[in-house]
Amino acid sequence: VSDLPEGSRRLLELAAVDGQPLSIATVLDGAGLGPEGHRSIDALKSRNLLRSCGGDDDRVECYHDRIRELLVSELDGDALRERHGALARALEDTEAPDPERLSRHFEGAGRWIDASRSAEEAARLADEKLAFERAAQHYRRALALGNHEAESSLTLRSRLADALANAGLGWEAAPEYLSIAETGIPRLESLKLKCRAARLLLATGYFEEGCTILDEVLAEFGMRVTTTPWGA
């Protein structure tokens, strides 16, 4: 690797930093190489540093994980950020960029707002595919990466809670709903969220916690859960 020309090494480093099959057009764009870059790719393939992916000659990846790990480990912080930034720019120029992939490279480049926005888009797509656990992961990343306004943050937190509930993770969704209920939203909406949290806790076996929340909600209306069948 140390004997490679600068352009070839940069191309190989981009493939290593991405860690997934990349289209040749994208990796050449990120490396700043024109048509002559195809010769570099052929040379890297002949030296068993790059390979085509599953018979697809239009996509390449590092020949082996050990090569990828070595290349990434030798990049200092500034160089690694630059490679992530180059990949993000190249992927943005493709017809339908993968938002999850974009988010990872934006984060690696220190572009936190763009990373958060892409993570939110990845979450929305996962929701549409009913991949709710994956959607929840992306919503969490979007919240962690971005500096959101109160309203935007509340929307993301609500979507996170819904994704967790849809994934059957009621014990994780309930605290999110309860947290949102304490943010100063209208009283009726707050109580509805508390009821939703209680139902999720009861449905997942957290009976004591669920009943405690129901007691709090009923107390708002001067009511209580009865303790006997006759009382019910």
Give pLDDT tens digits for 168-178: 999 999 999 99
Q: Work out the pLDDT band at 138, boundaries 50, 70, 90.
A: very high
Which of the two residues, 179 and 35, has the higher pLDDT score?
A: 179
For 140, the token pair is 């969490």
Q: What does the pLDDT read at residue 99? A: 96
Mean pLDDT, residues 147-167 taken together: 92
User: How many CB atoms within 10 Å of residue 70?
Assistant: 13
Sign of the CA dihedral running 150, 155, 158, 160: negative
Dump the DSSP string for the chain: -TTS-HHHHHHHHHHHHH-S-EEHHHHHHHHT--TTHHHHHHHHHHTTSEEEETTEEEEEEES-HHHHHHHHHTS-HHHHHHHHHHHHHHHHTSSS--HHHHHHHHHHTT-HHHHHHHHHHHHHHHHHTT-HHHHHHHHHHHHHH----HHHHHHHHHHHHHHHHHTT-HHHHHHHHHHHHTSS--HHHHHHHHHHHHHHHHHTT-HHHHHHHHHHHHHTTT----SSTTT-
Supply the mean pLDDT for the chain. Answer: 93
For 174, the token pair is 């309930």
Contacts 24+ apart (CB under 8 A), 43-52: 43/8, 44/4, 44/8, 44/11, 44/12, 49/1, 49/12, 50/12, 50/15
Q: What is the pLDDT of residues 73-111, one digit of tens each?
A: 999 999 999 999 999 999 998 888 999 999 999 999 999
Q: Work out the pLDDT band at 116, boundaries 50, 70, 90.
A: very high
Q: Global pTM? A: 0.84
Q: What does the pLDDT read at residue 112? A: 94
Examine the pLDDT at 55 and tell me if it is beyond 80.
no
Mean pLDDT, residues 130-142 taken together: 96
Best CA proximity match to 109, nearest among 135, 79, 138 = 79
Q: What is the pLDDT of residues 16-35, one digit of tens each?
A: 999 999 999 999 999 998 88
The Cα–Cα gap between 121 and 99 comes to: 6
Give the chain's largest Cα–Cα span: 86
In contact, 217 and 199? CB cutoff 8 Å: no
Q: Work out the pLDDT band at 36, boundaries 50, 70, 90.
A: confident
Q: What does the pLDDT read at residue 232? A: 80
Examine the pLDDT at 4 and tell me if it is beyond 80.
yes
Q: What does the pLDDT read at residue 227? A: 81
Q: Work out the pLDDT band at 145, boundaries 50, 70, 90.
A: very high
For 175, the token pair is 């605290």
Mean pLDDT, residues 166-191 taken together: 94
Mean pLDDT, residues 146-150 taken together: 83
Q: Work out the pLDDT band at 56, boundaries 50, 70, 90.
A: low
